[in-house]
């Protein structure tokens, strides 16, 4: 029997995380990948680990931002409220992603950020980034790279997950969730991924949760999808690819 992910809390408190940034597993893909290891260890970075359970909030929209964050493990979502109080999920971020970058500009956070899966996140104070950036110009360029990547992801979100028939939007979401798995995890034909709750899918794709449920059920019957524990599922990458092609073929 599989332990359900949500029932497996992460270790908490000080000492639960190694304090060394230079030895971090995701460092090659993260912000500090651009910084020399020596410089990292010299600087008293004051980087603090944060552990979040699903549904826990990292920060809220409007908070004055004193820190940026790097996702080491798990998936978080960016939420936003429209004027009438409707929630929308506007972006996801996985391991290696930098979030809350607006803090560097001394702007308040623009979105709520909430954990989707159990997540380990590193909190990096703003002035630590500034200090390091003065010594290491490559960090500035890497910051810009992160911004551009986030911008492209946001635009891609519009075209992929907010256009076309509901079925294709769901397929695209599954495809995107596959990419969010940790890079080092070699994906077989049937990799287990995080499968959002139906109402979460609705908020991401701009559809009713019932519609999302119907389509997920259908995909399960087609063998594209197979649940394995709460909030998790195997996805047959090949069938998913075929389903997307099929979808495009019918519409073209």
Q: Tell me how many residues contact a copy of itself (CB under 8 A).
A: 40
- Compute CA 142 distance to the chain's CA centroid, rounded to the nearest angstrom: 19
- Candidates 150, 66, 63; CA nearest to 108 is 63
Q: Which stretch binds a copy of itself (CB under 8 A): 20-28, 30-38, 42-50, 98-106?
A: 98-106
Answer yes or no: are the C-beta atoms of 103 and 65 closer than 8 Å.
yes
Residues 6+ apart with CB under 8 A from 42: none
Min dist. Cβ of residue 25 to a copy of itself (A): 25
The 35-74 site mask, x for binding a copy of itself (CB under 8 A), equals ----------------------------------------
- In the set 3, 9, 86, 186, which binds a copy of itself (CB under 8 A)? 86
Min dist. Cβ of residue 179 to DNA (A): 21
Q: In DSSP terms, which residues pair with 129 in a beta bridge?
A: none
Q: In DSSP terms, which residues pair with 127 in a beta bridge?
A: none
Helix H or strand E segment including 81? strand 76-81
Q: Which stretch binds a copy of itself (CB under 8 A): 84-92, 117-125, 189-197, 230-238?
A: 84-92
Residue 84 binding target from a copy of itself, DNA, none, CB below 5 to 8 Å by type? a copy of itself
**Region 132-171 residues binding DNA, contact defined as CB under 7 A:** 165-167
Tell me if 33 contacts a copy of itself by CB under 8 A. Answer: no
Question: For residue 52, what are its two tokens?
Answer: 């979040």
End-to-end CA distance of the chain: 44
């Amino acid at each position: 029997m599989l332990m359900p992910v949500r029932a497996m809390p992460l270790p908490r408190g000080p000492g639960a995380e190694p304090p060394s940034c230079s030895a971090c597993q995701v460092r090659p893909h993260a912000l500090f990948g651009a910084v020399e290891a020596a410089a990292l260890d010299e600087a008293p970075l004051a980087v603090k680990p944060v552990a979040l359970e699903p549904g826990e909030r990292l920060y809220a929209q409007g908070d004055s931002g004193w820190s940026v964050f790097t996702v080491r493990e798990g998936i978080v979502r960016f939420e936003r409220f429209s004027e009438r109080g409707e929630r929308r999920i506007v972006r996801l971020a996985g391991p290696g992603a930098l979030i809350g970058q607006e803090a560097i500009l001394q702007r308040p956070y623009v979105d709520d950020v909430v954990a989707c899966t159990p997540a380990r996140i590193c909190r990096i104070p703003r002035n630590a980034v500034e200090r390091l950036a003065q010594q290491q110009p490559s960090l500035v360029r890497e910051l810009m790279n992160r911004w551009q990547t986030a911008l492209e992801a946001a635009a891609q979100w519009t075209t992929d997950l907010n256009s076309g028939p509901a079925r294709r939007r769901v397929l695209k979401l599954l495809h995107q969730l596959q990419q969010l798995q940790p890079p080092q995890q070699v994906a077989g034909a049937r990799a287990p991924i995080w499968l959002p709750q139906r109402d979460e899918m609705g908020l991401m794709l701009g559809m009713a949760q019932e519609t999302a449920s119907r389509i997920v059920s259908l995909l399960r019957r087609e063998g594209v999808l197979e649940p394995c524990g709460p909030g998790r599922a195997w996805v047959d990458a090949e069938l998913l690819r075929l389903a997307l092609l099929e979808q495009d073929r019918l519409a073209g």
